[in-house]
Structure 1
Amino acid sequence: MKRIRTILRALDPKAAATMSRRERTEAFRIRRSVVAWILALCVIVSCTSCSVHAVLVNAVLNGHAKTAQIGNSGTRSEKNGSIRESRKEIAAIREENPGIVGNERRKGLSGGNGGTAGRRRHQSASRAVGRADGRSESEILAKAQQTAQNSGYGMVQYHYCVVTNGEVGSVEDFSNAVFRILNSEHGWARAGAIFEPSTDGNCDFDIVLAQASTLPTFSSVCSEQYSCRVGNNVIINDDRWNSGTDVWMSGGGDLARYRTMMINHEVGHRLGHIDNEMTCAGAGQAAPLMQEQSIFLDGCAINEYPLDSELWIG
């Protein structure tokens, strides 16, 4: 108590007149210490405020990410707001890692465009594309263009080349399937993207049907077990093209739907999406296209087309 009274007296300006010289020296020392403690407290409060602000920012970002996982639920305006936030975060990741690789097994930095020596390029002029409904290529493309124009996102046209690497046999059926899948009115056309095979060799990207053993030659992060995307190479694993995966098949899928998912998923990487940017929102709901459905479903239903919440292109 005596110490407290001494401190209070030292802080009282009126008491200075009655203090001895020794007491005034002691009072000055006490005041200096109090000022130092006040400054230290201000610094601590400032740092704490910054930390709280950072926590709140992270909470907001996490909230956007969770909202983006709603899938087909919620209003369109809510979903579009979440999509824009998620897209900004993904764009930031891609800016920091310009060589990022889309892979159904894992992601990493590109090792270059290797693995294309001796490959065969297949350019496609206008041709009929066989379908159960008998539509021609021009009819399929016209429907895709109409879907893209009505999407509200603006139409973006891509030209691609079909390429083979290794021993994969005839590529004609593969080329026809690629065109049908990419220009389905249920696919990326809903985000405004349409796709045409190049007729002059000028390609926005290559779709490579590759022998499984050649996948690692494109990049060290590409696996012989799955498909991969490296730069402008969208690489389709021939083994997966011919057999799918146990996870997909046991989830109620068939090979035709697996092929559709695989093409849309890997081309999705070329459009700016990354693996598992969204994952299963709940048991029984449609899995996001960019979830690695070849490997896990987490209770979701298989799905070969982008969800409404995935309808953007980079």
Structure 2
Amino acid sequence: MGRIVLLSLGLVAVCLGGGAAFAHWQGNGDGAPSAAGPGSTARPLPPPHEPPAAGRDASASPRAGRDAPPRRDEPGPPVTVPSSGPGTFTTARSTGAKTGSGTPRRYRVQVEDGTGLSAAQAAEEIERILAHPRSWAAHGRGSFQLVAEDADFVIRIATPATADALCRAQGLDTRGELNCETTDGVVVNLKRWMLGSPTFTGTPAEYRHLIINHEVGHEIGIREHMGCGGPGRPAPVMMQQIKGLDGCTSNAWPYDASGRYIEGPLVS
């Protein structure tokens, strides 16, 4: 980002590319690696099929038939999010197919133990998100690959208390609600991952696209946040949508179905 962002909660955002951490209302951060522990078996909802965007070969995606946005009316089971955990993490021990073109970025996925969320299944879902026809990889903004080690950045899903501790180590106050980003990668608050956002019209599964697309947007060099591009228009993925939509409609993808980049005015 290369500048200080003053948020409603007084959080400070500093660009990842500059080597410093930032926390904000949309989701991002990381702390030191923790010991691995046993995974669990909660299964995220797989999205149904959607035709690929214009000019996109669906076969280029490793899971092309499963990359569509989740149905907004799909029911979900009651979700209980633990407020804290042991602070140890399970790493998804798998290597995925490379997707996209451009600068390669290798990432690993870790999930805090005792959360009821499987690291392997979370990694599979994140892999689908990054390979989605409306995401970064499909439009030449980078090549992404899931790995178990030697990663360029880490995506870590943690309970609110653990996420706060990891972010606080970087001088960030996430107050049990927010995600944060540091020089190591991304810390996702389990509450946001499982429950979504009260300002987002869509399922938590769809909101997870927004979390990952927003944070990976910072990873690929988009330093600044955006505002609403006009009433009734889809909100940019680089907008901090949890703060409010300002007349825009909820949106979880960088590009629309025709391949047009969704953007708005830069905000400080």
TM-score, normalised by the number of residues in structure 1: 0.53
Q: Sequence identity, in percent?
A: 26
Aligned to 1:63: none
Q: CA offset at residue 263 of structure 1?
A: 1.2
Any idea what the Cα deviations from partners look like across 1:152-178, whole Å, max 9, x if unmatched?
xxx222111111235322223211110
Opposite residue 247 of structure 2, the aligned amino acid is G
Unaligned residue ranges in structure 1 (runs of 5+)? 1-86, 123-129, 150-154
Of 187, 193, 196, 1:241 maps to 193
- For 1:216, what is the secondary structure of its paired residue? helix
Larger Rg computed on CA atoms? 1
Aligned to 2:112: 165
User: Is 1:270 equivalent to 2:219 in the alignment?
Assistant: yes
Opposite residue 228 of structure 2, the aligned amino acid is C
Q: CA offset at residue 202 of structure 1?
A: 0.7
Q: CA offset at residue 118 of structure 1?
A: 2.9
Aligned to 2:135: 187
Unaligned residue ranges in structure 2 (runs of 5+)? 5-13, 40-45, 51-58, 68-96, 256-260, 264-268
Of 299, 306, 309, 2:247 maps to 299
The structure carrying a bigger helix percent of its residues is 1
Any idea what the Cα deviations from partners look like across 1:66-111, whole Å, max 9, x if unmatched?
xxxxxxxxxxxxxxxxxxxxx9999xx849953042532699xx9x
Any idea what the Cα deviations from partners look like across 1:127-154, whole Å, max 9, x if unmatched?
xxx76459xxx962497999945xxxxx
Relative to 1, partners in 2 of residues 1:146 and 1:185: Cα closer, same or farther, differing over 3 Å?
A: farther
RMSD between superposed Cα atoms in Å: 3.8
Relative to 1, partners in 2 of residues 1:118 and 1:195: Cα closer, same or farther, differing over 3 Å?
A: same
Opposite residue 208 of structure 1, the aligned amino acid is R
The structure carrying a bigger strand percent of its residues is 2
Of 287, 291, 309, 2:235 maps to 287
> With CA pairs under 8 Å and 6+ residues apart, which has the higher RCO, 1 or 2?
2
Which whole-Å CA distance do the structure 1 matches of 2:63 and 2:27 have between them? Answer: 36
Provide runs of 4+ in structure 1 moved above 6 Å. Answer: 87-90, 142-147
Q: CA offset at residue 191 of structure 1?
A: 3.7
What are the residue-to-residue correspondences of 1:126-275 with 2, within 5 Å?
A: 132-133=48-49, 140-141=61-62, 148=100, 155-169=102-116, 170-189=118-137, 190-199=139-148, 201-220=149-168, 221-223=172-174, 224-248=176-200, 252-274=201-223
Which whole-Å CA distance do the structure 2 matches of 1:242 and 1:284 have between them? Answer: 27
User: Is 1:99 equivalent to 2:20 in the alignment?
Assistant: yes
Which whole-Å CA distance do the structure 1 matches of 2:239 and 2:100 have between them? Answer: 24
Equivalent residues, number: 199
Which whole-Å CA distance do the structure 1 matches of 2:34 and 2:242 have between them? Answer: 28
Say if 2:16 and 2:218, in contact at 8 Å, map to a contact too: no
TM-score, normalised by the number of residues in structure 2: 0.62
